[in-house]
Structure 1
Amino acid sequence: MPHCHGKTAMELALSRRNLQDMNREVVKADSATTRIPEVDFEIPPYTQKGSLSTIEGLIDRAVAGLEQDQQLRNATAPAVAVKIDEFIDKLKKLKEGGFTLVIDDPSGNSFVENPFAPQKDEALSVSHYKRTPQQDAQLGIKAEDEEKPSNDIDCMRNEVLTFNTNCPECNAPASTNMKIVQIPHFKEVIIMATNCDDCGHRTNEVKSGGATEELGTKITLHLTNVSDMSRDLLKSETCSILIPELEFELGMAAVGGKFTTLEGLLKDIKDLIVSKNPFTCGDSSTSDRTEKLKLFGEKIDKIMAGEMDVHIVLDDPAGNSYLQNVYAPDPDPEMTTEKYTRTFEQNEDLGLNDMKTEGYQE
C-alpha cells in the first residue's frame, strides 16, 4: 500500500449495530492499530500488511492468524492453547452481537465505508489529531525546520515564494509557489500551488493567513439565482459543508482548504462523492450504491444550473472561511453569518484546549 501520509492522524470508530455492518468495506493501512474494546482485542501497527477488506474479513483474518499455530501449541503449551481457543470463540461470536471497531491510523490513510453516503453515518465517528514526534518518526517523516520569521512582511505580500517539493501523484521533483493574498472585506490567506512538469498534475491549497478566531462562523446562503455560482469562496481546512435539502454533510478535512467559486466547490464535491469515489467501480461497486450516487450527482448539477432551491451552509469552528457578499459593504439579503462559541469538542479537534500561550517557558 502506498505510503502517502495524510497531514493529520485519524481515528475511526464504528459501533456495529446489525448484520449488514459486517459487510462494510475497510481500508486498513499497515500503520494502523485495530482495536475491539469489548473483547480486549488489538492488532498493533505493522504486524499485518495494509488491506482492503470488510469488517467480517478483518475478524476472519485475525481468527486465521490465531489458529495457525494452535496444533504446535497443543503439543508444547496446552494451557496457552486452551486460552487462545477461548479467545477465538469470543472473536467468532462478535458476528452475533454488537461491538465497537476502532482503527487508529497515524498516517490518516485508513477508511471505513459509509453505506449511507452522501448522508451522515450515525454509527461511524471520524476524529483527526496531530501526530506526535514519535509517530512521525515511525512513519519516516522528518520534521520540517521552523522557518525564521521575516522582518519584511510587505515584501512577502508582493512576491511569490518558491520552494522544492515532490509531486503528490508521481513523486517526481516539482516546485510549489506560495503567495499571500488579501481577500476584500475578510483577511489575508496563503495560496500554495504545485505544478508537475513530468505528469502534468496540478494542485492548489489555501491556508488561513491569520490566527484562529475567538468565535466560530456559520455562513448560510440561500441559492436563488444561477449567478450565485460565481461568488468567491474560501473554505478553510477546518470548515464543514452542509446542504440540508439533500441531507448532505461533508466533514472538515474531506476537500481541504480551497479558494474557489461556489460552482467550483460544488464540482469538487461531485467529483469526490461520485466521479472519484473508489467504491463505485470493480468488486466494490453495487448497482444500488452506484444509482444512489448518480442521483446525488444529478442533484448537484441541478443546483449549479439554478434548478433547485437549496441552502449552502459553511460551518467553520476556526472562523477562517468566507463567502463573497456581492452587495458589500451592504448586507446580503440571501446570506446570513452567525458567530458562535465553540464547544469543548470543537476546541479539542482544533487543538486549542491544550494550547498554552502564556508562561509556556515554565
Structure 2
Amino acid sequence: MSVIDEERVRGGLFKDIDAEDEDAQPTEVESLCMNCYENGKTRLLLTRIPFFREIIISSFTCHHCHWTNTEIQSAGRIQEQGVSYTLRIKSKQDMNREVVKTDSATTRIPELDFEIPAFTQKGSLSTIEGLLDRAVAGLEQDQPIRRATDPDVADKIDQFIQRLKKLKDVEEEFTLIIDDPSGNSFVENPFAPQKDQSLSVTPYKRTKEQNAALGIQESEPEPDEKPGSDLETMRNEVLVFNTNCPECNAPASTNMKLVQIPHFKEVIIMATNCDSCGHRTNEVKSGGATEEMGTRITLHLTDVSDMSRDLLKSETCSVLIPELEFELGMAALGGKFTTLEGLLKDIKELVVMKNPFICGDSSTTDTSEKLELFGKKIDKIMAGEMDVHIVLDDPAGNSYLQNVYAPDPDPEMKIEQYTRTFEQNEDLGLNDMKTDGYGEVQN
C-alpha cells in the first residue's frame, strides 16, 4: 500500500470533530453488560482531536439495568519518554483544570497516601474534580458488600471517602501527581503560554519494567556488534541501523552521524525516515560528557539576520524569553540542531498550534486570545520587529549558539558559567554517581 493510500485509509477511519458532519456517526455493536449480564449496546467513535492525536471514544448503555459506561483510548503511538505531572492545588479554580489521563497513568495524592495504580481505570478526558469523583465512585462501589462482611474496613473506607470529598472544597492545599510512562497524559496550563508556577512537568526515560507493562520490547544488540569500538568510523561515515517507525511501527532505518560543531564540541545527529507512512523525525544528542559547570547563553536580538544563527539545544536545556514572560522547560522539544528561527517556529507550533486545550469544547475565549497574541509576538520576533532576549539555560553545559563574530567576542551575546544546584544535579542523575575511590584497594 502506498503512502497516499494509507493516509486515505487513516483519514477515512479517523475524522476531525465536527458537529455539522453528518457522516461522523458512531458505530453500534451489541455487547454484554457487566452489571446485569444482559446484552446492551456499545457505540464507538474514531475521531481526531485537533492539534492533539487520534482517539477512540466508546460509550456503553444497557437498556435492562440502565448502567452506562464511557471511556477514551489513545489510537496514537507511545511517546519516546514518559511524563510526570505534579500539580499543587490551591483553589477551587484548580479543580476545573482539564486532564487527559490514559489507562497506563498512575494517580497519587501524597497528603492522603492515596494512589490509583496504572491499568486499574480506563482512559478519560475529565477535570481534576472529575478524577476525584471517579475515585470516590470506585471506592463506594463495593461498600455494601464490605459492610456485610467486614464492617470495620467499611467504616474506615467511609472515613477515607469523606476526606476525598473534602478535597473538592480545597480547604487546604494538596498535591496531585499523574505519572504516565506512555507520555500520553496531559494536565491543562490555564496560564499558557506563561509558565504555571503550580504545575511541574518532568519527562523521564522508562525503565525496563515500564516498557514491559506497555508491551514494548527493547531491541538487543547483535552478538557481533561492538558498540563504541571504532570512533573514527563514526566520524567519517553515516551509520545506519534498523528500528521501528515511532508513528506506524513499521520497520524503518535510522541514520546516525557524528558531527563536529566549530568552536564547540561533537554532537550525534540521528534521523529516521519511514517508507511506509512517510513519517520523518530527527534528534540531536551531545557527543561529550556533562560539563563541570552549567551554561547560560543570553542573546540580545538586534537584527533579523540573528534568525539565521545556528543553534544546538540539548535535552537538558530550557529556553526563556523574559520580555514575554515565557519559559520552555528542559526536554519539551528534545534535542535540536537548527537555527534560531527554527527554534522559535517549533516553540510556536508546540505552544499554540498543538495545544489540545484551545480547540472544541476544551477552549475558552480568554485562553485562545492569549495564545493567539503569543503566536503573533513570536512572528514579530522572527521578523525582527521586537527587541527581546533569548536565554538558553543548560545545566549540563551541552547547548550552543553561534557566535557570528568568532573567534572574537559577540557584543550582543553573553555566556555565563555557573555552579549547578543540588536539584539540577538530581535532575541530571549526577548525585548518585559516586566514582571517587573506586580504584583504591580496599583493606
The two structures share one fold, judged by TM-score above 0.5: yes
- The verdict on how the C-alpha distance between 1:149 and 1:74 changes in structure 2, with shifts beyond 3 A counting, is closer
Counterpart residue number, 2:415: 337
- Are 1:89 and 2:162 counterparts? yes
Residues 1-362 of structure 1 mapped to structure 2, 5 A cutoff: 1-2=74-75, 4-97=77-170, 98-145=173-220, 148-357=226-435, 359=438
For 1:118-164, what per-residue CA distance to the aligned partner results, in whole angstroms no more than 9, with x for missing partners?
A: 11111112334444433333333444446624443222211111112
Q: Give the Å deviation of 1:219.
A: 0.3
CA distance in 2, matches of 1:298, 1:84: 52
Larger displacement relative to structure 2 (288-297 or 49-58)? 49-58
Contact kept in structure 1, 2:89 and 2:176, CA below 8 Å: yes
Q: 1:182 to 1:67 in 2, by over 3 A?
A: same
Whole-angstrom distance in 1 between the partners of 2:164 and 2:229: 61
Worse-matched range after superposition: 58-67 or 83-92? 83-92
Q: Is 1:174–1:194's contact at 8 Å kept on the other side of the alignment?
A: yes
Residue 205 (structure 1) shift: 0.6
Q: What is the distance in 1 between the residues matched to 2:276 and 2:355?
A: 25
Partners in 2 of 1:236 and 1:2 — Cα distance? 30
TM score, norm. by length of structure 1: 0.94
User: Quick one: distance in 2 between partners of 1:274 and 1:150?
Assistant: 41
In the TM superposition, what is the alpha-carbon distance from 1:356 to its structure 2 partner? 3.4
Q: Note if contact 1:127-1:349 (Cα within 8 Å) is conserved in structure 2.
A: no
Count of residues in correspondence between the two structures: 362
Matched to 2:213, the amino acid is: Q
Please state whether the residue corresponding to 1:264 is helix, strand or coil: helix
Which SS does the other structure have where 1:242 is aligned? Answer: strand
Contact 1:280 1:286 in 2 (8 A): yes
- Tell me how far apart the structure 2 counterparts of residues 112 and 69 of structure 1 sit (CA, whole Å): 30
Q: Distance in 1 between the 2:232 and 2:109 partners?
A: 54
Distance 1:302 1:151, change over 3 A: same
Unaligned regions of 5+ residues in structure 1, if any?
none
How far residue 8 of structure 1 moved from its aligned partner, in angstroms, is 4.0
Give 1:71 shift.
2.7
Is the 8 Å Cα contact of residues 129 and 349 (structure 1) preserved in structure 2? Answer: no
Distance 1:75 1:360 in 2: 64
* Structure of larger gyration radius: 2
Deviation at 1:233, TM superposition (A): 0.4
> How far off its partner does 1:275 sit?
1.0
Give me the TM-score of the superposition, normalised by structure 2: 0.77
The answer to whether the 8 A contact 2:104-2:181 is kept is yes
Contact 2:77 2:247 in 1 (8 A): no
1:338 deviation in Å? 0.5
Using the aligned pairs only, state the percent identity.
Answer: 78
Q: What is the alpha-carbon distance in structure 1 between the residues aligned to residue 84 and residue 371 of structure 2? A: 26
Residue deviations 1:23-70 (CA, integer Å, cap 9, x gap): 111222322221112222211111112222110010010111112222
Q: Judging changes above 3 Å, is the alpha-carbon distance between structure 1 residues 184 and 300 closer, same or farther for their aligned structure 2 residues? A: same
Give the superposition deviation at 1:188.
0.7
| Deviation of the 1:336 alpha carbon | 0.6
Aligned-residue CA RMSD (Å): 2.0
Secondary structure at the counterpart of residue 85 of structure 2: strand
- Give the drift of 1:202: 1.3
Determine helix, strand or coil for the equivalent of 1:96: coil
Taking a change above 3 Å as real, the CA distance of residues 360 and 67 of structure 1, as seen in their structure-2 partners, is farther
- How far has the Cα of 1:221 moved from its partner? 0.3
